[in-house]
Amino acid sequence: MLRLEPRAQPSMAMSLASPLIALALTAAIAALLFVALGKDPVRGLAMFFVEPLNGLRPVTEVLLKATPLVLCALGLAVCYRSNVWNIGAEGQLLLGAIAGGGMALWLAEAGFTGPRGAYAPLVLAAGVLGGMLWAGLTALLRDRFNASEILVSLMLVYVAQQLLNYLVFGPWKDPKGFNFPQTPSFDPSTWLLPIARGMRLHWGAVVALVAVVVFWFFLFRSWRGYQLQVGGLAPAAARYAGFSSRSALWTALLVSGGMAGLAGAMEAAGPLRQLTPHVSTGYGFTAIIVAFVGRLHPVGILLAGILLSMLLIGGELAQSRIGLPNALTGVFQGLLLFLLLACDTLIAYRLRWQGRRMPSRGAVQ
């Protein structure tokens, strides 16, 4: 029989292998699901892991979807390493989109025009402030009233969605939009421009790459990042060293909210160039999985963001080409996280085979 035996020290090799094992097990279970649904498992897996990378244009689409996932997950990694459980990146992303979209609409109404992309930095800055404001509500309620940041941040997601609905169905609705719930298209001076002509991938992808480097330096090479991580791993030691838990709470949530707001503004000013009720397709929630699959490390988050982006695009391809339900994408995301948590057990424990002991003759008597 198998039993778990504690290791003398955590296994670095298993820490690196655990995500790969979890991904392989997810693919194996996915193949079984395809068979159960009467589909070719090889073709089904190809939709998720081959077709999204089949050519330059599909690769740019993968990177386009990975950009908001990576930005949100970087901010969440700061929170989780600080032992602050922000579950509301989705709402902070929506507020960033609202703030950035509002800035774009105001600039056009006020007559500020210029070359294409000239005012995009103002739109992105407004998005960052909007996300920070929404995360700041969670920090305020946790700081002043000791409210659970998990519940507060999660409930604020639905408030943000209703606020977006109110705006696109009401005061910001395009009068020339054939009654569709959407704002007027943004002026070209506020667009986040694509990297190359003919593709949708914009310069936000480059910003995400730079953010990976900045957050690596912040977390592992800065004094402030060290304070946050000590507070998360050993709160008592942090208090003894004089580190402020209140400052850590505000810093973590404002950084996380700002990154999610930046992602929302990029979605509004980049591929959409207007606001609709569907600015986000659940990026803020998917980013939680990205953060943990990436081991709360900026480089791991970059790789995990690309992987989850492939799953999102693969789900759309599988639905349109072979008739698989799009809900399978959510199933795969949940499976990947569940199996990763299960495989992580092997970092601190090893499996041992232990034969059954036969009772002694005297004991039987």
pLDDT digits (tens, 9 = 90+) for 15-65: 888 999 999 999 999 999 999 989 999 999 999 999 999 999 999 999 999
pLDDT (0 to 100) of residue 42: 93
In a domain, 29, yes or no: no
**Tally of domains in the chain:** 1
In a domain, 95, yes or no: yes
What's the whole-number mean pLDDT along residues 250-275?
A: 96
pLDDT (0 to 100) of residue 52: 94
pLDDT (0 to 100) of residue 360: 59
CA distance 123 to 356: 67
pLDDT (0 to 100) of residue 325: 86
What separation, in Å, do the N-terminal and C-terminal C-alpha atoms of the chain show?
26
* CATH code at position 277: 1.10.3470
pLDDT of residue 362 exceeding 60, the answer is no
CA distance 110 to 48: 45
In a domain, 365, yes or no: no
Task: Give the domain extent around 102.
Answer: 38-324
In a domain, 229, yes or no: yes
Q: What is the pLDDT of residues 99-147, one digit of tens each?
A: 999 999 999 999 898 999 999 999 999 999 999 999 999 999 999 999 9
> For a pLDDT cut of 70, what percent of the chain falls above it?
97
User: Which residue bears the tokens 């655990």?
Assistant: 18
CA distance 315 to 47: 8
In a domain, 334, yes or no: no
242: left (phi over 0), alpha (psi -120 to 50) or beta: left
pLDDT (0 to 100) of residue 300: 95
In a domain, 295, yes or no: yes
In a domain, 276, yes or no: yes
For residue 309, the Cα-to-chain-centroid distance in whole angstroms is 10
CA distance 267 to 27: 30
Chain mean pLDDT for the chain: 92
CA distance 324 to 293: 25
pLDDT (0 to 100) of residue 222: 94
> For a pLDDT cut of 90, what percent of the chain falls above it?
76
In a domain, 23, yes or no: no
In 170-282, alpha helices (H) = 204-221, 223-233, 235-240, 245-267
Closest CA to 127 of 201, 207, 228: 207
In the chain, alpha helices (H) = 12-36, 41-49, 56-81, 89-109, 120-145, 149-169, 204-221, 223-233, 235-240, 245-267, 283-293, 298-321, 328-348, 361-364
